């Protein structure tokens, strides 16, 4: 019998299946604890891990390990958790929203017929949200509402043009719908994140989770929201390994366990593997399907850096 660290909902949902079909027993780690440990590991270990992305410009941020805490971790999965991190093992979930990656994919599948998250993201990259979103300029005859600081291109109402266009869903291009949906979700997350950072006086906001996928438009939209609501006083920061926080955190929990007497070499192996990508922004996410029996399959992934 093989023991493997695992975290997240799947560690519970698929535990019996992995044990029965593959002889793997999950040693389950708390999801939120693993996320925080993963972020702390990356920020303390990997140079050029954190960066900002605004107006098409990516800029790496040098993190002072002696001045890392406190910070806000915004983990965007199916929903969104916002975690105030005060140190190693010191954290508190202070807020969140149910409008996250699951909302994007769920509505996206209903509205565009896309079958996967990656397909929906790619579709959104091709779209124009202004076809569907009601802008300030649409309300004020193409002009800014300068008195309250709103430009003519600011979104006044997501999907707002659908109210008066007299069109049915099939009359809109699916890529425009996907773009509007992505903009709506990302804007909402950015705004809520900044308001929580303001509430607790947190200077740093890190966004992670596999919703982002390194997609420039997603990062830019979140950054614009944080920049707008903070009036330029705060910046959204992203992590180069945002999709692997929980996995790294679960791995770092290997210590003082009866079935693993000396894991320092393994820990250093992972550290070296992560460090290898410090000068390379390319990552590969490779789906792997393991056949078990009777035509059944378990899909997982190997992530190479």
Instruction: Supply the DSSP symbol for 98.
Output: S
Residue 80 pLDDT: 96
Residue 70: strand, helix, or coil: coil
Residue 172 CB neighbour total at 10 angstroms = 20
Residue 298 pLDDT: 41
Q: What is the band of 43 on the pLDDT scale with cuts at 50, 70, 90?
A: very high
* Residue among 288, 108, 104 at smallest CA distance from 209: 104
Q: What is the band of 189 on the pLDDT scale with cuts at 50, 70, 90?
A: very high
Q: Which two tokens stand for residue 90?
A: 């010191």
Average pLDDT over all residues of the chain: 83
Q: What is the band of 270 on the pLDDT scale with cuts at 50, 70, 90?
A: low
Instruction: Indicate whether 294 pLDDT > 70.
Output: no
Residue 265 pLDDT: 52
- Is 19 or 129 the better-scoring residue by pLDDT? 129
Residue 11 pLDDT: 83
Each residue of 248-258: pLDDT tens digit? 888 887 764 54
Residue whose entry in the numeric block shows the structure tokens 């999801």: 31
289, 296 Cβ separation under 8 angstroms: no
Segment 203-231 mean pLDDT: 90
Vertex 293 angle, CA 289 and 295, to 5°? 70
Segment 39-46 mean pLDDT: 92
- Distance (Å) of CA 301 to CA 166, 284, 292: 44, 10, 16
Q: What is the pTM of this model?
A: 0.81
How far does CA 79 lie from the centroid of its chain? Answer: 10
Segment 119-129 mean pLDDT: 93
User: Could you give the residue ranges of the DSSP H alpha helices within the chain?
Assistant: 9-13, 15-22, 31-45, 101-112, 117-125, 136-139, 174-200, 216-230, 245-252, 264-276
């Amino acid at each position: 019998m093989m023991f493997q660290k695992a975290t997240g909902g799947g560690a519970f949902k698929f535990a019996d299946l992995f044990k029965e079909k593959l002889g793997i027993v999950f040693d389950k780690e708390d999801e939120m604890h693993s996320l925080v440990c993963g972020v702390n590991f990356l920020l303390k270990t990997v140079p050029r891990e954190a960066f900002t992305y605004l107006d098409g410009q990516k800029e790496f941020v040098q993190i002072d390990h002696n001045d890392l805490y406190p910070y806000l971790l915004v983990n965007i999965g199916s929903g969104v958790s916002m975690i105030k991190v005060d140190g190693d093992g010191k954290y508190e979930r202070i807020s969140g929203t149910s409008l996250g990656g699951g909302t994007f994919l769920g509505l996206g599948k209903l509205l565009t017929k896309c079958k996967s998250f990656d397909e929906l993201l790619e579709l959104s990259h091709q779209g124009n949200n202004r076809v569907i979103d009601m802008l300030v300029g649409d309300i004020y005859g193409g002009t800014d509402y300068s008195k309250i600081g709103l430009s003519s291109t600011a979104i006044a109402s997501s999907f707002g043009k659908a109210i008066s266009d007299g069109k049915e869903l099939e009359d809109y291009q699916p890529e425009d719908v996907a773009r509007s949906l992505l903009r709506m979700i990302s804007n909402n997350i950015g705004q809520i994140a900044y308001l929580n950072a303001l509430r607790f006086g947190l200077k740093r906001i890190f966004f992670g989770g596999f919703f982002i996928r390194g997609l420039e438009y997603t990062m830019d939209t979140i950054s614009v929201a944080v920049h707008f609501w903070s009036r330029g006083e705060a910046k959204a920061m992203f992590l180069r390994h945002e999709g692997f926080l929980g996995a790294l955190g679960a791995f770092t929990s290997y210590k003082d366990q009866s079935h693993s007497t000396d894991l320092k070499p393994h820990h250093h192996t992972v550290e070296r593997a992560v460090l290898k990508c410090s000068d390379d922004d390319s990552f590969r996410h490779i789906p792997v399907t393991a056949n078990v029996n009777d035509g059944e399959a378990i899909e997982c992934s190997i992530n190479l850096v």
